[in-house]
Amino acid sequence: MKDFDFNQYYQNHEVDFSWLDKPSQHGFRWRNSDGSWRKSKRRISSVDSFRKAIAKDNPSDVYFSTSSWLEPIDLPNLNDDTKPHPILINHLIAFDIDFAPLSLENLEWARLTTLNLHKWIEKNYDYELMSISFSGSKGFHLFYNDPDRSLFSIEDGKEREDAVRENRKKLLQEVLLAGFKVDSRITADTRRIIRLPGTIHGKTGLLCHRISIERLGTNIDSWITDVASFFGNIDIPKVAKVKPKKVNQAGKKLTKNIQQNNVEQSYMIEVSNHLPGTKDRTSLIFWTPYSWGTGELCLERLQDLVKSENLVDSYIFSDGQRILFICPEAFTRAKVVKILRKVGMEKLSNTLETRQHYWVRISGIMNDDGNWYNEPRFISMIKGNNSKENFSRAHLTLLSKLGIDIDISQHQNLAGTDEPSTRMVARD
């Protein structure tokens, strides 16, 4: 990579600005082949102005801002109160879908996820599709424009940006809760940059470029070899061979990072066991202890729980290390406290007793590199007593969003409101 003359390539080939309404309102950054970063000190509105901006550099990776600004050059920091707040003109709705490490199998998963996410967006929102691009490595990017301009009519610059960010956070939570594994650092961040189509990916040498919806709908094997490769023919393995991480190794890595004051963060979606719209109703949802394992013994303990407590149909998911148990019944809080203590979950029962609810992870975990792991996958349903007709409306909705085929209209005497309480969290 260091020996490749990226600048010469860009002086003779055109990057793709055609789909951006006003490129000059976006910020541009690039990483040079020596690892240094540069910000464009001039507005970039065309291929010629881009070539002039990078004239003294050798940019291995080129990015642009997902936001457009009245003054995109030298934006003050988000919390800089010494300067006027910049005026946000627009913010592209961007999704970054990566499945690491690079392999044909993972690229196919990324392609299918991107395609299904686009179909879901079309069904649930009125956004305008602007562009689809292959990233040049492990996945794809989706870009949409929101025709609703109400948030961008807010006069105060800071209030406007805050409102847009909160709107995007809500969208991101819905996307993650619907089961689409996207990079959660991208969509909701008004200061985020993303790879520019028509530029070379500095690690793989593959061209990041726009593709049609028809190509996105075609198996990755049928076209990936047609992608321009600038470091010679790249050998993408069919299947990524990755050894699973052991828990103790992760602990060692975390300890090392703490010692270096460079603690990595993990991102995930959590749901509350409380029934929204009720005062003292809760569902039974928890991760089993590591000591239970994920095999037949664990399943037997959960089956005994459903039978002994006369629970309704309950659902179990596995992330490979533990089991996520979801019983969508509407209980009193005292009843769940009692059940949790009975199965040996003293800490969780104490949390419910003192704080009146608790949060449970329902998604995979994303690390700082944007890679997902420990994704809970549906295993089976444990048959229970459904004649009680005492269900949590919100947690039936949750199960539906997790891919379980549930007809909520077939249940009577539902408690609470439709939507579960969810949040996206970052943990050290």
Scanning 13-156, the segments in alpha helix (DSSP H) are 47-53, 104-124
413 CB-near residues (< 8 Å, 6+ apart):
389, 390, 391
Please check the confidence at residue 339 and state whether its pLDDT lies above 90.
yes
422 CB-near residues (< 8 Å, 6+ apart):
173, 177, 269, 270, 271, 272, 362
What is the per-residue pLDDT for 320? 84
Question: What would the pLDDT profile of 13-31 be if each residue is shown by its tens digit?
Answer: 999 999 999 999 999 999 9
Q: What angle do CA 354, 355, 360 make, to 5 degrees?
A: 120
Pairing of strands 139-145, 193-195: unpaired
What is the per-residue pLDDT for 263? 53
Buried b / exposed e along 178-188 (16+ C-beta atoms within 10 A): bbbbbbbbbbb
Which secondary-structure segment (H or E) carries 379? strand 377-382
Mean pLDDT along residues 204-208? 96
User: Could you tell me where in the chain the CATH 3.90.920.10 domains are found?
Assistant: 6-226
What is the per-residue pLDDT for 245? 45
Torsion sign (Cα): 175, 78, 262, 140: positive
What is the per-residue pLDDT for 364? 87
What is the per-residue pLDDT for 1? 52
Torsion sign (Cα): 280, 286, 289, 293: positive
Asked if CATH classification 3.90.920.10 holds for the domain at 6-226, the reply, yes or no, is: yes
Q: What is the mean pLDDT of the chain?
A: 89
Instruction: List the one residue out of 1, 119, 144, 131 whose CA is nearest residue 59.
Output: 1
Instruction: List the one residue out of 70, 62, 58, 56 whose CA is nearest residue 26.
Output: 70
Q: How far apart are CA 388 and CA 299, in angstroms?
A: 23
Question: What would the pLDDT profile of 372-413 be if each residue is shown by its tens digit?
Answer: 788 888 889 999 887 766 899 999 999 988 888 887 777 778
Question: What would the pLDDT profile of 97-132 be if each residue is shown by its tens digit?
Answer: 998 889 999 999 899 999 999 999 999 999 999 999
Confidence of residue 8 (pLDDT cuts 50, 70, 90): very high
Residue type, 44: I
Q: What percent of the chain has pLDDT over 90?
A: 69
Instruction: List the one residue out of 282, 268, 284, 23 whose CA is nearest residue 131.
Output: 23
Confidence of residue 247 (pLDDT cuts 50, 70, 90): very low
Question: What would the pLDDT profile of 43-66 be if each residue is shown by its tens digit?
Answer: 999 999 999 999 999 999 999 999
- Is residue 331 within 8 Å of 337, Cβ to Cβ? no
Please check the confidence at residue 284 and state whether its pLDDT lies above 90.
yes
Scanning 74-206, the segments in alpha helix (DSSP H) are 104-124, 157-177
Tokens of 248: 């103790």
Cα-flanking dihedrals φ and ψ of residue 131, to 5°?
-165, 150
Cα-flanking dihedrals φ and ψ of residue 396, to 5°?
-70, -40
What is the per-residue pLDDT for 390? 85
